[in-house]
Amino acid sequence: MKYYRSTNKHGSKDAVTALLSQLQPHRRWQLSLIVLLMIVGGLAEIVSLGLIVPFLAFLIDPLEALQIELVATVSSIFGPADPNSLRLWFTLLFIVAAVVSGAMRFLVVFFEMFWSCENLAHSTILKKLRITFATSV
């Protein structure tokens, strides 16, 4: 195995490039998919956490919550309605954001575990075949 040593101070990009060049193409694809899922999952977490304060403000006092710019913008999308129907819409919006965030977190963990176990099973089967082949010859 060839070791890579950067000669410049800021060799992070070179180190990552060297690391990625050592991976098989399907592992590079899996890594890029995991990174993409992590970024999307992080954004979903930010959205769900960012909706907590407007959601709680709207539950406490809908008319006062309409003074918040985000709440006013979202309520204008739903059109003019009474505070109780807006409360329902904001509750549903918060639920959807929380479910999407949880689903993204689940997908990241699922694919990480699936590909880790796939690699483990693959290497275990190869070792077993090598032992079987070596003892039979």
Maximal C-alpha separation, the chain: 82
At 10, is the secondary structure helix, strand, or coil?
coil
With cut-offs at 50, 70 and 90, classify the pLDDT of residue 99.
very high
Task: Answer whether residue 121 shows pLDDT above 70.
Answer: no
How many structural domains are present in the chain? 1
Eight-state DSSP code of residue 93:
H
Task: Answer whether residue 27 shows pLDDT above 90.
Answer: no
Whole-angstrom distance, CA of residue 54 vs CA of residue 48 = 11
20 is a domain residue: no
34 is a domain residue: yes
Range of the domain at 77: 26-136
Task: Answer whether residue 25 shows pLDDT above 70.
Answer: yes
14 is a domain residue: no
Q: What is the pLDDT of residue 100?
A: 92
Q: What is the pLDDT of residue 39?
A: 93
Higher pLDDT, 112 or 46: 46
The tally of CA atoms less than 13 A away on the side-chain side of residue 19 is 8
Nearest by Cα to 32 from 97, 122, 115: 115
56 is a domain residue: yes
2 is a domain residue: no
68 is a domain residue: yes
With cut-offs at 50, 70 and 90, classify the pLDDT of residue 20.
confident
Q: What is the pLDDT of residue 87?
A: 83
Task: Answer whether residue 134 shows pLDDT above 60.
Answer: no
54 is a domain residue: yes
Q: What is the pLDDT of residues 54-93, one digit of tens each?
A: 888 888 887 887 787 877 787 788 776 777 778 888 888 8
81 is a domain residue: yes
With cut-offs at 50, 70 and 90, classify the pLDDT of residue 43.
very high
Higher pLDDT, 9 or 61: 61
Higher pLDDT, 122 or 90: 90
